[in-house]
Amino acid sequence: MSSDRPRVRRIGVMGGTFDPIHNGHLVAASEVAYRCKLDEVIFVPTGQPWQKMSGTEASGTAPRSVSPAEDRYLMTVIATASNPRFSVSRVDIEREGATYTVDTLRDLRAILPDAQLYFITGADALESILSWQHWEELFALAKFVGVSRPGYELHAEHLADHLAKLPADTLQTLEIPALAISSTDCRERAATGRPVWYLVPDGVVQYIAKRRLYRARASRGVSAP
Ligand SMILES: Nc1ncnc2c1ncn2[C@@H]1O[C@H](COP(=O)(O)OP(=O)(O)OP(=O)(O)O)[C@@H](O)[C@H]1O
Ligand SMILES: O=C(O)c1ccc[n+]([C@@H]2O[C@H](COP(=O)([O-])O)[C@@H](O)[C@H]2O)c1
């Protein structure tokens, strides 16, 4: 028996601080789109990434300032412009206060009520997911796809124990092509005049130079958003 019901649209959501966006983010989104048969991937730059800005034990980071949201948004637009299945949302940068994924997903569900959302996250972010605001609610709003990242174990025993607390069938993990690129390394390279060519898309290299991002950060005193 055939059904005339249209297939539910599958939309990927790639959240990140994207300071700057790099080819590791783009390969992760592209690979998940292919493997999970997504119709589209929406990149969502954070407004105020509270764990990065405050530094937390869960995220294993020290507090740091973040480039203005508009710069991070524009770099994300530049990086994704050539892919017709990639788009960028302003929901997080337009919301006041700290950015919580539960709000991101609620906002996107309101805009796309009939779609199935797939939130894409790297193995490092998965390690801290139980420290996210209202994490128990996240899995009713979207399916989660955890991707491999050099330097982080996707199938580590401690991670498996930790993720066993999540509801069944809400998280899948995928091995993707390994790109040992981080925004931290890109910022450090730009700050010390080393190349970021081919770590980030060409237009992003040019945007960083044009806006003089990551140079003398302390004297610019930048902070989000
Ligand atoms: N090279 C990579 N491979 C796979 N996933 C990645 C990679 N880089 C980042 N991600 C994932 O992309 C999402 C957004 O990452 P984010 O913008 O914080 O970049 P980052 O490189 O981790 O930044 P930073 O070095 O400033 O912490 C997170 O879920 C992260 O795990
Ligand atoms: O919801 C939270 O409390 C929360 C805490 C840390 C990170 N996140 C989300 O995880 C994604 C990657 O974040 P980051 O800080 O690693 O760039 C991004 O969409 C963040 O909003 C969400």
What pLDDT score does 91 carry? 98
pLDDT digit string (tens) for 7-32? 899 999 999 999 999 999 999 999 99
Tell me the two tokens of residue 68.
Answer: 């203005």
* Long-range pairs of 108-112 with CB within 8 A, sequence gap ≥ 24: 108/11, 108/13, 108/42, 108/44, 109/141, 112/9, 112/11
Model confidence at 109: pLDDT above 70: yes
Number of folded domains that form the chain: 1
pTM, entire model: 0.93
CB 36 within 8 A of CB 12: yes
Assigned domain for 14 exists = yes
Q: What is the pLDDT of residues 179-217, one digit of tens each?
A: 999 999 999 999 999 999 999 999 999 999 999 999 965
Domain for residue 98, yes or no?
A: yes
Domain containing residue 46: CATH number: 3.40.50.620
Query: Which sign does the torsion angle of CA 174, 180, 184, 190 carry?
Result: negative
Tell me, in angstroms, the distance from the centre of ligand 1 to residue 5's CA. 37
Flag whether 211 is in a domain. no
The answer to whether residue 88 is domain-embedded is: yes
Which ligand does the CA of 91 lie closest to? Answer: 2
16 CB within 6 A, ligand 2: yes
Whether 125 is in the pocket of ligand 2, judged by its Cβ within 6 Å, is yes
Q: What is the DSSP letter of 129?
A: G
Domain assignment of residue 34, given as a range: 8-178
Q: Is residue 190 in a domain?
A: no
Task: Give the Cα-Cα-Cα angle 84, 35, 111 (nearest 5 degrees).
Answer: 50
Q: What is the DSSP letter of 170?
A: S
Q: How confident is the model at residue 60 (pLDDT cuts 50, 70, 90)?
A: low
220 inside domain: no
- pLDDT, residue 4, reads 73
Sheet with 40-45, side-by-side order of all strands: 86-88, 40-45, 10-16, 116-122, 143-147, 171-174
In a domain, 149, yes or no: yes
- Report how far ligand 2's centroid is from the alpha carbon of 15 (Å): 7
* Residue partners of 92: CB distance under 8 A and separation at least 6: 15, 44, 45, 46, 47, 99, 103, 104
